Amino acid sequence: MSIPSVLTIILNYKTPEMTLRAAAAAMREMRGLAGKIVIVDNNSRDGSFELILSKISHSKWPVDRIEVVQSDQNGGFGAGNNFGIQREIATRVYDYVYILNSDAFPNRGSIYALLEHLQINTRSGIAGSYIHGPEGDPHLTAFRFPSIWGELEGAARVGIISKMLKQYIVPLPIPNKTINVNWVAGASMMIRMEMLEKIDLFDENFFLYFEETDLCLRAAQAGWTTDYVRNSEVTHIGSVSTGMKSWARVPSYWFDSRLHYFQKNHGSLYAGAATLAHISGYMIWRLKCLIKKQPQHNPSQFLRDLVSHYVYSFFRPLPFSQNSIPKFAPPANSMRSKNKHGS
């Protein structure tokens, strides 16, 4: 039996020092495993690529185990990871791809735990880690798929509504053991290459957010499971490249990704109902805040932006390509390719 190989992709966007920290942690955890780390600079244009390349070239890391490449455009999270995957599988066969955020640092044994889980559970296509902050505070990284009722509950944030709709709440209570979930956060996730051959790569219509949700949904539709692996622990700072924690106003790409997810996977009518449910829930939450005289901490003009984005989509269809999911194409001379085509 051959030793399984892992391709680790770390996507950098203007966080070179943090990316190097993530790479160092991944290199430590890749010790003893077959495979390679590829750092993809997502067209930062701030000197990140040159800095990372210089630091790596002057390090003592084995040159055949790590590479720094640069994308010619910033197409977002999915496109950047696709770039790294496609570049590597054009010349070499890997069994798994490990996606790691530039602000995430694998703890001892974390990568091996994901690999071991996927090797034992042959119908598991995606495995995600237990993620916590630098102070040990657990992050929500295991979820149900978004739905109309989930949109209402998530926006309303009212106890009685949450109790009534608990089976639709998108964030799951933080699991204390390894379990099957609908989807996991992309900060630390290992994906079976055999599955990608069947469902293809990330949908590049998602610039940021919902791309891993969509991938896990496509996996589920193809008969693969997504699992949350509790003994794979990763320290995550969070939102360093995106600035989500400090958003004064939600960027348009979040609304684009949200609407695309619902329209693509459930149709336009469902997307409209989900948006109406979110608006209704938001109004309930605002009413609760007014009655209780509580401060409202949502980003500025969120409701107006949500409504105007949805209405505007009728007059300006989302600028998405029908061929937005790159095909997985292993090397033509690989054993897996030969088996796939029956030669």
pLDDT-derived band at 339 (thresholds 50, 70, 90) equals very low
Q: What string of DSSP letters covers 167-231?
A: GG-SBPP--SS-EEESEE-TTEEEEEHHHHHHH-S--TT-SSSSHHHHHHHHHHHTT-EEEEEEE
Structure-block tokens of residue 82: 């696709």
- 7 near 97, Cβ under 8 Å? yes
pLDDT of amino acid 325: 84
pLDDT of amino acid 343: 33
Q: What is the value of pTM for the model shown?
A: 0.91
pLDDT of amino acid 336: 60
Instruction: Give the tens place of pLDDT for each residue, 100-119.
Output: 999 999 999 999 999 999 99
pLDDT-derived band at 3 (thresholds 50, 70, 90) equals confident
CA distance linking residue 189 with residue 258, whole number of Å = 21
pLDDT of amino acid 340: 46
**Strand pairing class (96-101; 183-184):** unpaired
- The torsion region of residue 136 among left (phi > 0), alpha (psi -120 to 50) and beta comes to left
pLDDT of 259 above 90: yes
Return all residues near 234 (Cβ < 8 A) that are at least 6 apart.
100, 104, 105, 106, 107, 110, 129, 130, 131, 132, 187, 188
- 252 near 309, Cβ under 8 Å? yes
CA distance linking residue 115 with residue 19, whole number of Å = 22
Task: Please state, for a pLDDT cut of 70, what percent of the chain lies above it.
Answer: 92
Q: What string of DSSP letters covers 19-53?
A: HHHHHHHHHHHHTTSEEEEEEEE-S--SSHHHHHH
- 269 near 276, Cβ under 8 Å? no
Mean pLDDT, residues 135-144 taken together = 95
CA distance linking residue 39 with residue 81, whole number of Å = 10
Instruction: Give the tens place of pLDDT for each residue, 213-239.
Output: 999 999 999 999 999 999 999 999 975
Instruction: Give the tens place of pLDDT for each residue, 145-175.
Output: 999 999 999 999 999 999 999 999 999 999 9
Q: Count CB-CB contacts under 10 A for residue 182.
A: 17
- The torsion region of residue 209 among left (phi > 0), alpha (psi -120 to 50) and beta comes to left
Return all residues near 245 (Cβ < 8 A) that are at least 6 apart.
238, 239
Domain spans of the chain, in order of start: 5-138+174-246, 252-315
Task: Please state, for a pLDDT cut of 90, what percent of the chain lies above it.
Answer: 76
pLDDT of amino acid 342: 39
- 226 near 128, Cβ under 8 Å? yes
Instruction: Enter the CATH code of domain 5-138+174-246.
Output: 3.90.550.10
Buried b (16+ CB within 10 A) or exposed e, 193-221: bbbbbebbbbbbbbbbbbbbbbbbbbbbe
pLDDT of 323 above 70: no
- 5 near 93, Cβ under 8 Å? yes
Instruction: Give the tens place of pLDDT for each residue, 14-44.
Output: 999 999 999 999 999 999 999 999 999 999 9
